[in-house]
Each structure stands twice: as C-alpha cells, then as structure tokens.
A and B are shown apart, each in its own frame.
Chain A
Amino acid sequence: MSGKGLFGRLDWITVILYALLVFIGWINIYSTSVGEGHTSIFDFSTLYGKQLFFIGLAALGIIFVLFVESHFFERFASIFYIVSIVLLMGLFVFGKTIAGATSWYDLGFFNLQPSELAKVGTALALAKFLSDIQTDIRTGRHQLYALVIILLPALLILPQPDPGSSLIYFSLFFVLFREGFPIYYLGILIFAVVLFATTLMFGTVWVAIGLIILALLIYTFKKASVKVPVLPVLGVIVISTLFSLSVNFVFENVFEQRHRDRFALWLSLEKDEEKLDEIRKTIGYNTYQSEKAIESGGFIGKGFLEGTRTKGDFVPEQHTDYIFSSVGEEWGFLGTSAVILLFSLFFLRLIYIAERQKSDFSRMYGYGVISILVFHYFINIGMVIGLLPTIGVPLPFFSYGGSGLIFFTMLLFIFLKLDSNRLKDGI
C-alpha cells in the first residue's frame, strides 16, 4: 500500500463519477447558451467558454488540494471558518448586488460568492469541533455549540437575501445525526413539515380528526403486550393541533403573497383555473416552464441542441438553477434518470468512503460534504421537476457558475485527499 503514490491512493471511482457529472453539466450549459454562428468552445465571451475556464480553475484547485499536506485542513479548519464568517460579514459593506442579492465580491475577472466558501469552512469547522476529544454531542451544551457553528453562517446569508443557501446549512444536521445527535429530532422536524403541508391542504379541523383517527388506530392494532400511555398521546394531539392553528396564522399573517402563491402552487391549493393561470405566468412561471420543458422531452428527448424550449430561452435561469430542465428536454427520460442514477451512485460511494475512515475528523467532514451535496441536489432537482417550491440553489457540478463549481470541487477533493491518507491516520 505504502508503495502507491498519491494518485494510486485516490478513489478513482469517485473521481470518474465527478468528471462525468461536470462533463454532462457542461454539455447542457453549451446547449442552453450556444447561439447562431457559434465559435470555438474556448470563446470566453460565451457562457460555455467561461464554464470551461472555470473547469480549468477547478482542476488547478484539485491539484492544489491534493498536494497540500492532509493534516493542514484539520489544523486550519477554524481559520477557514473564521475567514468565511468575516467574508460573509464583509458583504454587508463591500458586497456586489447581482439580481437583487448581495452575495458577491467583485474580483474583476470573477465574482466570488463567499457563501460557497463558507460551506467548505463550516463543514471543516463542524468536523473539527465534533472530533475533538472533549466534545460530547450528547450533552446539551455541545449540541448548542454545534448548532451555533451551523447556524451562524446561515443567519449571515439569510439577509443577502439568499434563503436557498441558508437552508443548505441545515443539511449539516446529518453530520450530527451520524455522530449521535438524537435522531428523533429529525422525526419531529418531518412531522412538523407534514403537519404544515396537510394543514394548508386540508385545514386544521381535518388534521386534528386525522390525528385522532391515527391514535385510535394505534390503540386498536397495537400488540396487547405493548403499553402506550394515554397522556403523552393526547399531548401530542393537542400540541399538533395548536401547531396546525399557528400554521394558518403564520401563513395568513406573516407570509407575503408571493410566498403564499408559491405554496399554493406547490401543494396545488389553488383550484381556480384563472388564478392558477395567473400564478403560472408570474410566481410559478419558472416551475411551469421547466416542467413543460422536461415533459416535452418524452422518453428519448429531442436530441442534443434540438431542445426548442431550451433554445428559445423559455426557462429562466436555465444555465444555472434550471440546468436539469435542459437535460429533460434534450435527453428525455433516459437522460434524466441516468443523471439521477449517476448522482445516487456518487453519493452512495461517498457515504461508503466516509464510513471507512479511521479518523473521526475525516468521517465527520465527509458526512458534511455529502450532506451539503445531497441537499443541493434534492432541493434543486426537486424544484426543477415541480416537487418543491422555488428555492434558488445550484445543482452541484452541473450549474453554470465559477464559485459554485470551484468550491464544490474543493469541498469534494479535500475529502478525497483525507481519504487517500486514511491508512496513515491509523498509524
């Protein structure tokens, strides 16, 4: 083993999957941005040319990461984190506003988005904190510290405004769950989301009735030997009903109309065909167009560069957040399911790698990376295919954009570097 060099120890399966994703992403960016009289693919005035340049930068980043001594990342995790936080704060003063969000530093040739960098920093810092010999995630105090590490950048990003990126930080809870953070918190969260959605769809009364029926069913079908105390169940029902009432209140009084419209569209609350049409043309326009584009691809798709809706630029932001709709239109169901499969394999491979780490830091960091990537993937594609409300986050490795590509790449390759060193960690 020790005879192998750095490249021998690198997990090539992951690298190949990564390269495939970047390549397919670029192909689709090319399709969305190629115009009449297209020139060389190295034309940097075009989006696909620029993206190619970013891919080059990312490759440089990979080389840099791979040649850095692997304990460097563990040692300097806190520094990374602090720099990220400072950069995020700096945005309030020096930030450049693009499309209504103050999320960028203008570096002349390149717009740097520090929230991307902060993802790397936060993942490192969280891993560092959790892997510390003195940290015990089962204590409330350390749970609180962990929450602060996660939520601080999220809170700084929220007012940019960039709710999508903020949301991403919540994915790091998966790291906590992996390390012993009580899993029923997740259960409660999911339960709350279900209550939220069902309340909007059916109203509080039906939610309460549903809960009571559910409770009765549990009592009817439980094994006689299992004792289920009555009081806590009643308590859950009462609290849930109160929560459900508060949902209505928040929805009607705290949310703005555009938020309400998004949920209305997502949960198919609006039945009035005319209003629905209005929503499709305004708030739901992106989702509607993107669904239509994907739908029109059918089983085999329209073919590379043949996507009429892609060419006509019907789906806004198609080269960035909505890149997956181009896959749907031009490559059809075959293309979309292949991409889904590719991502799934990629994630499962990463989880496998994370689990084989001997160093706690490496494993925790690995989980951080995976969580962040999965969350992006889930929210992005979920939004593009109309399963989730519109939340603007990029699809990792696919979407156009330098910061995104480079930091996702670094996020990943820091992990691969740590992995390549795992045998030494044991010694």
Chain B
Amino acid sequence: MKKLLLSSVVVLIGFTFIGRLSYLQLFRFSADQILDDPAIKKVYDYPERGYIYDRDGKLLVGNQPAYDVMVIPREVKPLDTLEFCSLLGIDKPEFLSKMEKARRYSPRLPSVLVPQLSKEDYAKLQEKMRHFTGFYIQKRSLRYYNTKSAANVLGYISEVNEWDLQNNPYYVAGELKGRTGIEKQYEETLRGRKGVKHIQKDRFNRDIGPYKDGKLDTLPQQGKEIHITLDKVLQEYGEKLMHGKRGGIVAIEPKSGEILTMISGPTYDPALLVGRKRSKNYSKLHYDTISKPTWDRSILAQPSPGSPFKTLNALIGLQEGVIDTKTKFRCYHGFYVGNTLRGCHCGGGVRDLNSGIYQSCNAYFAGVFRKIFDKYETTDEGMDVWEKHMKSFGLGDFLGTDLPTGAPGRIPDVAYYDKWYGDGRWAASTIISNAIGQGEIAATPLQLANMTAAIANRGYFYTPHIIKSVGNNGNIDPKYTEPRYTTIDRKYFEPVIEGMANVYNYGTARWVQIPDIEIAGKTGTVENYIRVDGERMQLTDHSVFVAFAPVENPQIALAVYIENGYYGSRYAGHIASLLIEKYIKGEITRKDLEKRMLEKTLEHEYAKPYSGEPFKINEYVW
C-alpha cells in the first residue's frame, strides 16, 4: 500500500490532466476560433462601391467622401473645449457625454466622436486639427445621388444588422449593405470584395507585425459600375407629373423588355437616407402608414386592372375562334346577368370588336367572355383555358424580374372559385366581372406594362429587367434576352391594336392625342373600396391607362395607375401621353396640359376618408 501510494497518485494525476486537456482541446475547441482570436486583428481595405448609370450613361449614383471625427481617449491632451465644440457644431455637454462614451468603450481604441461631417465643416476643422491631440479625421465613403428621383429603384444601403452578420460571414459589424432596389439586387457586383490584412497583436493591443507574414492577406477587388435601363430624364419627368398623386407608373421598351421608368408616388429624395440624418428620415418615411412613400406601388400595388384587361379577353376570344372581328353584341346601356342589368357607359347600341374596344363596352366583353366559356362543355375546362391564356401574358405570378421585391397579382382559377363558391356552384355569369377587368383579377402596374409590351410586340415579351450592363461589357443574364411567347397567334393582335389606336382617334381617350405620334392605348376606371375604422366605403375610382407608341415599331409601352384619379383618361391617360411624348420627341408640345398635370394634386381625394365627414366620390370638378 505505502509503496504504491505515490505511483497511484502519479497515474491519477496523469489521467486527470489528460481528461481536462481533452475537454479543453478536443471538446471545447472549434475551428473558427481564429475569428475571435484577440491576438489577430483584421484590418480591412474597402474598395469603392460601384457607380450606377442610366441607360444613356448619365450618372445616377456615385460616392462622396464623408469625414468622421475619431478619438482615442487615452491620447487626448487638455484642449480648448469651446473652440473644438464650435468647430464640430455640438455643445459642451454633448461633447463630454460622447467623450465619456468613447472612454467607456475603450481608452486605447478609436471611437467615432462625430460621424459624417459635411465637406464644409471638414474644411474648417482640418486646419485646426493639429491643436487637438488624440483626435483625428477618418475619411469614409457615402453614396452620392445625382438625382432626386428613382429612390424606389435605386434602393439604399445601411449598416448590416445582427441577422446579416449571422447569415453572411462576409460582413463585419459596421459595414454597409444594399437594403432595397438595385443596391440590394446587385449588392455583390457593386460592393466588390474588401481586402483584408491580418495583424498580429500583443495583449496591449500593439501591432507586432503581419500574421504569418501576410500569407492569408487579400487585396481588395473593385466594385463594378452598373448601367441600368432607366431613362433618367423620363424618370425625373414622370416623378414631377406624379406630384401630389399616389400610384405607380411603369414604362418598358417592348423590343428588349428594358424598364425605362418605374415610378411610385409619393416618393422621396434618395439623399434623405444618407448621412447624419439618415435614421431620423428613415423613421419618418417608414412610419408614414397612410401615403407609404417607401412602398413601391409600381411593383407592389395590385389593384384590379379594369378595362385594359378587355383587350386580353378580346385576344382570347379570337384565338379560341369564338368571335371574329365582325361578331356583334348589343349593348342595352349594360348587359343582363340573369335578370339584373349591369351598367355600361359606352352609350349603347350594337358593338363589334373595334368599337367594343375604343368605346370600352362592358356588354360586348361580357358577351365575349361568355362565348369563351360556352365553347367548352364544362365551366372548369373553359376556366382552365382562359387562365392559361391570361398567364401567358405574365399575369398572376411573379414575372422574374431582377428587382428584389415584387407581387404576383392574381388570375383566379378553378380552385379559387371552387373554394369561394363551392364546386360546381359557379359559372361564367357568376364571374363575369373578370370580362371587364374587375372582379377577382389583380395586377401590378409592372404586369400591366408588360402585358401592353406583349401586345405591342404582337405576341411575345421579354422578362422586364432593370440591368442594362455590368461594367463595360454588356453581358447580362440570358433569361432577359429570350422572348417569352404568349398563347395568342400573331395575326389576332392587329384588329385589337387597331381598336386600341382608335381609343385615341375617337374613343375614350380622344382628348389626349399627341400630334405626329400614333398611340394605341386603353383606359381603365376601377371601382375601389377602403376600410377606415372598420367601415367599408367606396372611394373615387382609380384611374388606369395602358398604352404603347408608335403603333408601328413600338418604342415604349407603359401602364399608369393613379389612385382615386377617377376615369381612365382623366389622370392616367394624360400622364401617359405626356410621358410618351417626352420619351419619343424629347419635348412637350402641349404646355397647357403639362402645366395642369404638374400642378394638380389629388390630396383632397386622399383626405376624404379620413375627414370623418360624409363625402362625394367621382366628382367632375377639376
């Protein structure tokens, strides 16, 4: 026993130590410890974020320097606080509290004392900086906007949050990342890759040379510039026209699917989300829940499309062979569903395809819609065919654009109505509202513009996109350069387009003609309702307009949707015609119209439901 005592102790100690060491080095060890190794400091070298240009090479977004005043508390020598504060534009208590905060963070590490000085403040401060030991100025790069428009398209960048840090190991706290729009969609292209240097530190946080002689270090990769398909002039002009109005406008170049303009009203100056006032401004915009300036109506709003939808029903009718251009329907200032009369504003009489379109006759399209369904033995079959045709125009689903957000709209199908009414408990007449673009259909302005582009192209479209080229070579995702064909044969488009042209010539939009430009379009007037404090009320109709021009060799197809703008040609039609003229001619000949559109606002309409008093809708007063 006594001879074995010490040996046992030695063996016991050995096992205990090995046990503890396996716990430490095998169980608790994790390979990514290098990331929080206090002995290795990573110094990042940030490349400049890529610029964004419009389709003609005009600068939209660049970078500007900003200057952070930094402090290393331990190195601060007594100073003239008053002078320093006045140079920084802060008062003394604020200065002292910031100093205290910096000291608490770390006496020997730099902290930001005052972020993002303007160029002017920087110039004043720089001369005097040598008097203030322990302070220095650090340059950083902020976004600079060469336009007050397109905030929704361009998007903004902001500091990465916890979620980003956890989900993308690339980012380090304090870095910037694209949040919305192009900044988000093309984040990696614009951002480039930061370079990193590993510095070996000692426990006093002093540098003691490169770690592993810089073997792990990398050089920064420049961010690439991006050219987008927006037309800066058209975008800015459109936003001016949207002054005081809510809604969305999307214009597309039909022969390429490039988005020429994408407007959401109300909007905001993108520069608001840069610099010292960023978070204050953001809160203001974000919490405006009534006019929702950060909600991009051009791709997120999903109203019923209204009458522009009639053109598609006409195309389906032709394709299915249930009508031809001569087929006539009588309008009784409306049409009967069972014994009830549903109204029509076209004036009544016998309508064929052409006048049905340009007078926007509800009765005519109700007839077409019924005929489509009558062709098939069951309602379900008819519904499936109708749905297939509709969806071939890019409706009822996400289009597949390169925008980071979007909405699918809605094309109802058999399942939808079976759920709504019950299996076999509905028929074409039940859902007849779809004939005139009301009912259960919903589409974003982008989808409407794309649908118009498909008509302009006589049967196909390109997936709408915002990217024109990355860097200087023009290569973009091939999915944006392949045509997507609709299920309608090319020959059926001409009569419909003729009807749409006549909308301008002597139809519902005859007062918005543009000299020398032949336009094909279709008005829409959409009934709508709102709930305020649980009370459902009808508001003034939404004004909708789709158009493309010129009729032969179309250069622009667009959809304009103005909330509560009343009938189609009243706001939407005028704005559409001004945009077309601006884009094709480069100037506006109808100055009166332009002035009226620039000045008129719909604020009084938007205030109505919140006034708490009874109000009238659809007033004819200008």
Contact = CB atoms under 8 A, between A and B. Distances in A.
Given A299-B26, A332-B25, A381 B17 contact: yes
A306 interface: yes
Contacts of A186: 5
Interface residues of A, number: 47
Contact of A385 (B17, B33, B37, B212): B17
Interface string B1-33: 111011101110110111011101110110101
A351 B13 contact: no
Given A336-B25, A344-B10, A311 B5 contact: no
| Residue of B3, B20, B202 with most partner-chain A CB within 10 A | B20
Given A180-B2, A377-B13, A312 B21 contact: no
Contacts of A174: 5-6, 9
A308 B28 contact: no
A336 to B, nearest CB: 5
Interface in A300-320: 306, 308-309, 311-314, 316
Contact of B201 (A296, A312, A374, A377): A312
Nearest to A285: B203
A299 B203 contact: no
A39 B17 CA distance: 36
Contacts of B211: 308
Given A174-B5, A348-B7, A351-B7, A333 B26 contact: yes
Contacts of B347: none
Interface string A171-192: 0001001101001001000000
- B interface, size bucket: 35 or more
B200 interface: yes
Given A333-B21, A340-B14, A311 B208 contact: yes
A205 B1 CA distance: 35
A425 interface: no
Contact of A351 (B1, B6, B24, B29): B6
Given A178-B2, A313-B202, A385-B21, A341 B14 contact: yes
B586 interface: no
A314 B14 contact: no
Interface string B410-431: 0000000000000000000000
A393 interface: no
A385 to B, nearest CB: 5
A294 B14 contact: no
**Chain A interface main SS type:** helix
Contacts of B22: 333
A314 B39 contact: yes
Contacts of B321: none
Nearest to B198: A308
Contacts of A316: 203
A398 to B, nearest CB: 14
B439 interface: no
A326 B444 CA distance: 65
A298 B31 contact: yes
A332 B11 CA distance: 21
Contacts of B343: none
B21 A337 contact: yes
A351 B10 contact: yes
B428 to A, nearest CB: 69
Interface in A167-219: 174, 177-178, 180, 183, 186
Going nearest first, the 9 A-B pairs with the smallest beta carbon separation are: A312-B39, A308-B39, A333-B25, A298-B29, A344-B14, A347-B10, A312-B202, A314-B203, A313-B202
8 contacts: A36-B209, A178-B6, A297-B29, A311-B39, A340-B21, A348-B11, A355-B3, A387-B17
Interface of B: 1-3, 5-7, 9-11, 13-14, 16-18, 20-22, 24-26, 28-29, 31, 33-34, 37-40, 200-203, 208-209, 211-212
